[in-house]
Structure 1
Amino acid sequence: MAPRDSYSTDQVTAWLRHIRLPTSYKEYIEDPISFPKTFESLGTLMRCQISKFPYENLSVHYSPTHTVNIHPEVLYEKLMGLERDRGGGGGGRGGYCMELSIFFHHMLRGLGFCVYMTAVRNRSRENGVPGGEYLGFTHINNIVYLSSDRQFSIDVGFGGDGPTSPLALNELGQAVQNLGSQEVRLIHDNIPKQRFKDPKLWIYQYRNAPKHDWNSFYSFAELEFFQHDFEVMNWWTSAKTLHRWTVLVVRFLREGESVRLLGGKTNVIHSVDSEEGRLQALRDYFGIFLTEKEAQSIEGWDMALG
């Protein structure tokens, strides 16, 4: 039986099927609570999650309210495609960080993992590169306990800049291979704006090659946040930030995946100048089929194409 406040066993089983697990994990699909609680299995779940569900902000553009609902049951219907199936859209969706991480949190709980959510301070960026001050809480992360002395950060909602493996919360700060030549790590340190040096924070860093210096994306503390906390944060982020100035969809690719795009480098492979063209691109490149109601809701919105 799934733990209280998690998704039901049937919902977890449907998700395990949906994310296309390696065949070695198929025996656990019908009995999800028996899923192994190991670093390897956790990494597999993370990579299956981020390669199945895109990071996207379509709800702020293609919805009647132009806001985001992060209630767990709403997220389940959205990401798993149940609402779209009924509305004629077909297929599932992705979401932004709070949607993806809250959804993943409840799935981990349904599998029996010991996990809690925490809030994250992102750094401001210039031309996409973090270099400014740590801002307010606008991001979310999961912390998983595999044992009393083995905790891991699991961030499935940071888009293309996010880690692709669990990162250990320890004092070693080991470099972990990410995509291509990029390495990422967590260090335990202070951020410049802290007036008091206790407690230290966990800081997510990256470098795009071993010869480069480390740079910091965000920081977080080992402090549990709850659904009500993220409801407050979501009100601000979905109404005031969340890339409202652009329509954004990002997804990690799996090796050997048959898709109409190339991974690994930034290239312009297709330009659109109409809503019809953009909706077709969402279908072709991301498998996202918006309902007629969703597609029409962008009319009169500042991000609508001609």
Structure 2
Amino acid sequence: MDHTGRGWDGETLDLAAYLGRISYEGDLAPTVRTLRALQWAHAEAIPFENLEAALGHPVPLDLGALQDKMVRGERGGYCYEHTLLFAAVLERLGFGVTGLAARVRMGSDKLRAATHALLLVEVPGDEGRWICDVGFGEGVTEPIELVHGAESARNGRRFRLERLTAQEWVLRSARGVPVDDDWLDLHAFTLDPHYSADYVVINHYISTHPNSPFVGRPVARRPDAEVLYGLTGTALTARRADGTVEERLLEPAEVPKALDEVFGIRLGPADTAALVTRLT
């Protein structure tokens, strides 16, 4: 067991329960093929959601709490929760795992704090280094090799990595029908290592500060084979690969049902009532 705080507690992971949660029965050898299959299964099964922060609850990041919530409790989480759970899985299977932090852009040039967590994964046998971004919530369902210009494309959703400087990389998303100059900057990151202790500090700001985009309103995302479903406040969206978006505004009382039926997120009675009250 790693007592230095530099590891991801993979040895304490309930691997069988996690694999059952994501309905994965494939190969577990630490290969690129396994990495791709695991990331897709994780993204499809475990939704992105911020409901603990939206309701004013603590967001613990220890592996035991993450497993209780996201694996046994069949809930989702946001970037720190997804990233730390997936890091433990990959470490347990024999991948090399380094935590990273990114500055969210979403098309803006404004310098923001590095508040997003993602992973740099090394595959044994010199099969390259890969960016795994399981917790961004924008449908990044495949690892992308850390090579300038590398792309991933699944179900019509395209992402590209580009090197901006000697230290900085950017992840971009194609907007609608692919054309060479129609890319949206999602976030920028460096390869400076980050650890669980770093994420705990950043998570405190994101889950409690009144200026955080995740405090006070529910946000959820879930990709399937054709559509990226989203919920922000009471706005329910379905975004297709061609860039078309269908949006419907829900009544506050309809939001818990949408969370259940669209995202697979089931709240208890007390949280359901609190969410409807907050939205009202």
- Which band: TM-score by shorter chain? 0.7 to 0.9
1:223 and 1:245 map into 2 onto residues whose CA distance is 31
Q: Residues 112-138 of structure 1: CA distance to partner in whole angstroms, max 9, x if unpaired?
A: 211121111112x4xxxx122231111
Q: 1:296 to 1:81 in 2, by over 3 A?
A: farther
2:167 and 2:252 map into 1 onto residues whose CA distance is 49
Q: 1:219 to 1:278 in 2, by over 3 A?
A: same
CA contact (8 A) 1:7 1:107 kept: no
2:54 and 2:187 map into 1 onto residues whose CA distance is 26
Kindly indicate which of the two structures has a greater share of residues assigned to strand. 2
Q: How many residues align?
A: 259
Q: 1:206 to 1:299 in 2, by over 3 A?
A: closer
- SS of 2:173's partner is strand
Matched, 1:205 2:172: yes
Using structure 1 for the length normalisation, give the TM-score: 0.75
1:183 and 1:280 map into 2 onto residues whose CA distance is 31
Aligned to 1:224: 193
Matched AA of 1:222: L
- SS of 1:218's partner is strand
CA contact (8 A) 2:252 2:276 kept: no
Aligned to 2:68: 77
Equivalence map 1:226-265=2 (5 Å): 226-240=195-209, 241-254=212-225, 264=240, 265=244
Q: Aligned to 1:12, which of 15, 29, 32?
A: 15
Equivalence map 1:11-90=2 (5 Å): 11-21=14-24, 25=26, 35-62=28-55, 65-82=56-73
Q: Residues 249-299 of structure 1: CA distance to partner in whole angstroms, max 9, x if unpaired?
A: 11011479xxxx966242135x43233x22222222222221123234447
- SS of 1:249's partner is strand
Q: CA RMSD in A?
A: 2.7
Aligned to 1:102: 84
Unaligned runs of 5+ in 1: 29-34, 83-91, 191-198
CA contact (8 A) 1:6 1:110 kept: yes
- SS of 1:159's partner is coil
Cα shift at 1:155: 0.2
CA contact (8 A) 1:72 1:103 kept: yes
1:295 and 1:4 map into 2 onto residues whose CA distance is 32
Q: 1:137 to 1:263 in 2, by over 3 A?
A: closer
Q: Aligned to 1:187, which of 162, 185, 189?
A: 162
2:59 and 2:12 map into 1 onto residues whose CA distance is 23
Matched AA of 1:151: R
Higher relative contact order (CA 8 A, sep 6+): 1
Matched, 1:267 2:246: yes
Using structure 2 for the length normalisation, give the TM-score: 0.82
Cα shift at 1:178: 4.2
Unaligned runs of 5+ in 2: 228-236
2:169 and 2:270 map into 1 onto residues whose CA distance is 42
Cα shift at 1:183: 2.6
Matched AA of 1:5: D
Cα shift at 1:4: 7.5
Q: Aligned to 2:133, which of 155, 175, 187?
A: 155
Q: 1:177 to 1:295 in 2, by over 3 A?
A: same
Aligned to 2:233: none
Matched AA of 2:9: D
Cα shift at 1:149: 6.3
Aligned to 1:114: 96
Matched AA of 2:256: L
Q: 1:44 to 1:55 in 2, by over 3 A?
A: same
1:246 and 1:169 map into 2 onto residues whose CA distance is 34
Q: 1:185 to 1:291 in 2, by over 3 A?
A: same
Percent sequence identity is: 24
